[in-house]
């Protein structure tokens, strides 16, 4: 009987089978359990011999099960290690070298540029309070300018930030002037077509100093230098525009990087490409954060747009498709 069980243990090939066999032996209705139950029927003079025999069986079966378990576990680990093995010394004819995604690459260049001008890099939450995204930026409830942005709202009344401008507010509330900051990060709008994706990236800029210390000329100088650094030898022009949080405001164009200003399909024949928005910080914004006797400028730009113009990429959506054949071209 005993050797029979030992032989069975010996032929087991998996941990699952082994566990089933263990139950067949030691379980409630298992072989040994039933054998021990027979004790009461065994005549007294035979009891000692019977118990000794059963105890020996118990010990040898327990041992055999344990040993088998160890062997099977080592086998399983061995198999796993073999199947997951990577030979790092193996020769590969055309190794694939990674590269930064064009959006990250562009973002890094922008950040580095402003860090070299001593701008700090600030951060804010993607799920924002209405106050930071709109209210404090001179966009009170029912202000028609809120229609400019198609906003994602959460169930509890928060918004996915529609621009990086709320970081202006957070930074001003957390620090004291003078301030010289940028805020890179993702923003969200209900938009999806050739030139819009529901998530994209912006870099915000804000400079605040004492009253009368910051003028439009300062803003203009920094923007022109920055754009020439990013796009090379381009013309830059400022067009009057409107943002609730800046006054006066301007949209900034560069001469078309595709046709050098002659007029082509990309620039709709105008010779110009719009690349950022900026202006002198509106007095209402300073009031919302309790700043007095200060002056400042702010700007905001779309990183994907910069990346497309720098790398001459036609379709914005290709930046989000993670096609390695496209991304591999930007090493
Ligand atoms: N927040 C504006 C936008 O998303 C850009 C901007 C920032 C304009 C700062 C002026 C000043 O369109």
Q: Is the pLDDT of residue 23 over 70?
A: yes
75 and 157 co-located in one domain: no
Distance between Cα 244 and ligand 1 center (Å):
9
Identify whether residues 256 and 221 lie together within a single domain.
yes
Q: Read off the pLDDT of each residue in 270-294 and give the average, rounded to a whole number.
A: 97
Pair (135, 43) in one structural domain: no
Give residues with Cβ within 8 angstroms of 272, minimum separation 6. Answer: 237, 253, 254, 255, 256, 261
Q: Which of 23, 51, 84 is the last residue of a domain?
A: 84
Is there a single domain that holds both residue 176 and residue 226? yes
Are 70 and 107 members of one domain?
Answer: no
Both 106 and 74 in one domain: the answer is no
Give distance in angstroms: CA of 157 to centre of ligand 1.
Answer: 23
The rounded distance, in Å, linking the Cα atoms of 133 and 152 is: 12
73 plus 110 within the same structural domain: no
- What Rg value do the Cα atoms of the chain yield, rounded? 36
The reply to whether 147 falls in a domain is yes
Q: Specify if 91 maps to a domain.
A: no
What is the per-residue pLDDT across 198-221, written as a single tens digit (0 to 9) for each?
Answer: 999 999 999 999 999 999 999 999
- Give the list of residues 6+ apart from residue 128 with CB closer than 8 angstroms, or none: 158, 159, 160, 161, 166
Q: How far is the CA of 132 from the centre of ligand 1 (A)?
A: 14
CA 240 to chain centre: 36
Name the residue of 159, 168, 203, 245 to mutate for ligand 1: max ligand atoms within 8 A of Cβ: 245
In-domain check, residue 176: yes
Domain ranges, residue 61: 2-84
- For the chain, the domain total comes to 2
For 106, other C-beta atoms within 10 Å of its C-beta total: 25
In a shared domain, residues 80 and 137: no
Task: Give nearest CA residue, ligand 1 atom 2.
Answer: 300
Q: What is the largest CA-CA distance in the chain?
A: 115
The answer to whether residue 90 sits within a structural domain is no
- Please, which residues bridge with residue 121 across strands? 182
Instruction: Compute the distance between CA of residue 310 and CA of residue 303 in angstroms, rounded to an integer.
Output: 10
Q: Point out the domain boundary residue: 84, 114, 137.
A: 84
Q: Percentage of the chain surpassing pLDDT 70? A: 98
What pLDDT score was predicted for residue 149? 60
Indicate the top mutation candidate among 196, 204, 242, 243 to test ligand 1's pocket, ranked by most ligand atoms within 8 A of CB: 243
Cα(240) to ligand 1 centroid in Å equals: 14
Cα of 59 to ligand 1 centre, how many Å?
Answer: 79
* Atom 4, ligand 1: residue with shortest CA distance: 163
Number of H helices, E strands in the chain: 11, 9
d(CA 80, ligand 1 centre) in Å: 54
127 DSSP 8-state letter: E
- Ligand 1 pocket mutation pick from 110, 148, 165, 286 by most atoms within 8 angstroms of CB: 165
Closest by Cα among 246, 250, 249 to 283: 246
274 assigned to some structural domain: yes
Average pLDDT of the chain to the nearest whole number: 92
| Tens digit of each residue's pLDDT (9 = 90 or more) over 53-76 | 999 999 999 999 999 999 999 999
Q: Which residue has the higher pLDDT, 246 or 147?
A: 246
Burial level of 30, CB count in 10 A (0-12/13-18/19+)? middle
One domain for residues 201 and 257: yes
User: Which residue puts its alpha carbon closest to atom 10 of ligand 1?
Assistant: 278
* Closest ligand 1 atom, residue 300 Cα: 7
Q: What is the CATH number of the domain that holds 175?
A: 3.30.930.10
pLDDT for 147 equals 66
The set of protein residues with a Cβ atom below 6 angstroms from ligand 1 is 163, 165, 204, 243, 246, 277-279, 298-300
Task: Give SS3 for 121.
Answer: strand
**Conformation bin of residue 33: beta by default, left when phi > 0, alpha when psi is -120 to 50:** alpha
**Is 92 part of a structural domain of the chain?**
no
Q: Among 122, 151, 300, 302, which is best to mutate for testing ligand 1, by the most ligand atoms less than 8 A from CB?
A: 300
Name the 3-class secondary structure at 204. Answer: strand
Query: The tokens of 283 are what?
Result: 């007095």
Segment 171-190 mean pLDDT: 96
Q: Do 78 and 110 lie in a common domain?
A: no
> For 220-258, what is each residue's pLDDT tens digit?
999 999 999 999 999 999 999 999 999 999 999 999 999
Closest Cα to atom 6, ligand 1: which residue? 300
């Amino acid at each position: 009987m005993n050797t029979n069980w030992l032989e069975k243990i010996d032929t087991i090939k998996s941990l699952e089978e082994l566990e089933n066999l263990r139950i067949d032996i030691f379980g409630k209705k298992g072989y040994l359990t039933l054998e021990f139950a027979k004790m009461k029927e065994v005549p007294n003079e035979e009891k000692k011999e019977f118990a000794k025999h059963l105890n020996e069986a118990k010990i040898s079966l327990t041992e055999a099960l344990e040993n088998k378990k160890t062997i099977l576990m080592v086998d399983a680990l061995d198999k796993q290690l073999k199947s997951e093995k990577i030979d790092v010394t193996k020769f590969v004819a055309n190794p694939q070298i990674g590269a930064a995604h064009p959006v990250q690459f562009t973002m890094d260049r922008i950040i580095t540029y402003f860090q070299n001008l001593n701008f700090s890099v600030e951060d804010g939450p993607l799920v924002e309070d209405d106050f930071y995204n709109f209210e404090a930026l001179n966009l009170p409830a029912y202000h028609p300018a809120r229609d400019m942005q198609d906003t994602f709202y959460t169930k509890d009344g928060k918004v996915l930030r529609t621009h990086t401008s709320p970081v202006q507010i957070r930074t001003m509330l957390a620090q004291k002037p003078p301030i010289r900051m940028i805020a890179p990060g993702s923003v969200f709008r209900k938009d999806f077509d050739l030139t819009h994706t529901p998530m994209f990236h912006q870099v915000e800029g804000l400079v605040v100093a004492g009253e009368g210390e910051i003028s439009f000329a300062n803003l203009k100088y920094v923007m022109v230098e920055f754009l020439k650094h990013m796009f090379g030898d381009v013309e830059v022009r400022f067009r009057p525009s409107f943002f609730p949080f800046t006054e006066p405001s301007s949209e900034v164009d560069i001469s078309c990087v595709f046709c050098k200003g002659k007029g082509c399909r990309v620039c709709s024949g105008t010779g110009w490409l719009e690349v950022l928005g900026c202006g002198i910080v509106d007095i209402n914004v300073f009031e919302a954060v309790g700043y007095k006797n200060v002056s400042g400028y702010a700007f905001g730009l779309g990183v994907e747009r910069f990346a497309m113009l720098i790398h001459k990429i036609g379709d914005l959506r290709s930046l989000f498709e993670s096609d390695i054949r496209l991304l591999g071209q930007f090493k």
